[in-house]
Structure 1
Amino acid sequence: MLRDAGIMLAAGVGIPILAALNAQLGGRIGAPMAAGVVAMSVALVVAVVAVAATGQARALALVSAQPLWLLLAGVLMAFYLLSITWIAPRFGVGNAIFCVLLGQMVAAAVIDHFGLFGARVVSMNLQRLAGILAMAGGLVLIQRA
């Protein structure tokens, strides 16, 4: 569990770095969407190497038999990458990531509460709600600064 938390913490650290780097690339080449394509292409190569290295390549043959709506994950990933690359230079990396984080917390709370997409049910309570509202209040304070 501690290892998993560490991996996710590292992934969280990587998100604003990804936003800053890709925003910089988009600015330098004058095309944020093209920078998103470059990032997704590099990500695809890394993912293919990881699938091959872990012996999971055969599992790719099973994808065509899965419900199409599960592929929405790829659409959402592209939306995130393209939107953060386009918005971050104007809005600020910190502001953009804070909004993303707030959206993640709200969506995660709803997914957990209702057990959507096969998630383990974790009911909404006042403490969780207070945390989300505190983050929303923080966003307002950051925007006014």
Structure 2
Amino acid sequence: MTETLRYALIMLAAGIGIPILAALNAQLGGRIGSPAAAATVLFVVACGAALIVTVATGGMGKLALIPAQPRHLLLAGLLVAFYVLSITWVAPRFGIGNAIFFVLLGQLISATLIDQFGLFGAAVRSVGPARIAGLCLMALGVYLCQKA
């Protein structure tokens, strides 16, 4: 299996997991009456899983390097918290499909801007007419899948 295919399959699995995460956490939040508490449970389980992988891969010593890193890099944790809290609260009210549609639309827009300007150290990939057309087709496809 080529590296490209392996990476694509890993990210496909991650993408498949996002709506499942939303549905499961929304249901947990509804059952216990607190989307914030459900998000907390999710993060505790996720932290435990990440810790197991860190230990298994010999990365515990790398945690000592965190205090020396630029503080803005830690904002990623706030973005994850915002996503989990918002999807847990919004999905039962708006629908899993609708919520994920707007998540995907936001991802398309954000990824395009990051690539265009090389933000956050990403490689620059200019956005030309063909890429804009492709992004529009992707957005339209996601919209049609939701409306069909």
Give TM-score scaled by structure 1 length.
0.93
- Runs of at least 5 residues in structure 1 that lack an aligned partner in the other structure: none
CA contact (8 A) 1:99 1:139 kept: no
Question: Partner residue of 1:98?
Answer: 101
- Runs of at least 5 residues in structure 2 that lack an aligned partner in the other structure: none
Amino acid at match of 2:35: P
Question: Partner residue of 1:43?
Answer: 46
| CA deviations over 1:24-71 (Å, ceiling 9, x no partner) | 000000111110010011000000000000001111000000000000
Runs of 4+, deviation exceeding 6 Å: 142-145
Question: What is the rounded CA distance, in whole Å, between the counterparts of 2:141 and 2:17 in structure 1?
Answer: 22
Question: What is the rounded CA distance, in whole Å, between the counterparts of 1:127 and 1:95 in structure 2?
Answer: 27
- 1:108 and 2:117 aligned: no
Deviation at 1:128, TM superposition (A): 1.8
Amino acid at match of 1:114: F
Question: Partner residue of 2:57?
Answer: 54
Question: What is the rounded CA distance, in whole Å, between the counterparts of 1:95 and 1:132 in structure 2?
Answer: 19
2:91 to 88, 91, 107: 88
Amino acid at match of 1:18: L
Identity, in percent, stands at 63
The 5 A counterparts of 1:1-145 are 1-137=4-140
Deviation at 1:143, TM superposition (A): 7.3
Amino acid at match of 1:129: I
Give TM-score scaled by structure 2 length.
0.91
